[in-house]
Structure 1
Amino acid sequence: MANRAYSTPISTWAFHTVCTGLPALMAPALVALALVALALLGLATPDPVISGRVAHTQGVAQ
């Protein structure tokens, strides 16, 4: 019988820790990055009132 039949090699333990911990740390960062990208896209769109396109966006004929 082996001396350590129930022990896990350190490489297997490290691989498991990285594979389960890394996505758990990356997911909130990716969500935050997506929200920042959406906010920047929203800031990049011109204001219809200032640009004079409010009639076109509301469907009102000039």
Structure 2
Amino acid sequence: MANRAYSTPISTWAFHIVCTRLPALIAPALIALALYGLATPDPVASGHAALALEVVR
């Protein structure tokens, strides 16, 4: 049996967390943001660009 079989350096553990679990948590949020962007109409194509410009001013 190996010495210290259950000891893992913290950098290896953190790298594993960042590379496996973090993308799994961020991916649904990015997909939802992309779907929201597809659902909102383009103000230039719909003719509401002037109205959007007035709101900004």
Q: With structure 2 as the length reference, what TM-score do the two structures score?
A: 0.59
Q: Which amino acid aligns with 1:29?
A: A
RMSD: 2.3
Q: How does 1:1-62 map to 2 (within 5 A)?
A: 3-41=3-41, 46=46
Gaps of at least 5 residues in structure 2 are 47-57
Matched positions, count: 45
Gaps of at least 5 residues in structure 1 are 47-62
Q: With structure 1 as the length reference, what TM-score do the two structures score?
A: 0.55
The structure whose Rg is larger is: 1
Please state how far the C-alpha of 1:18 moved relative to its aligned partner: 1.2
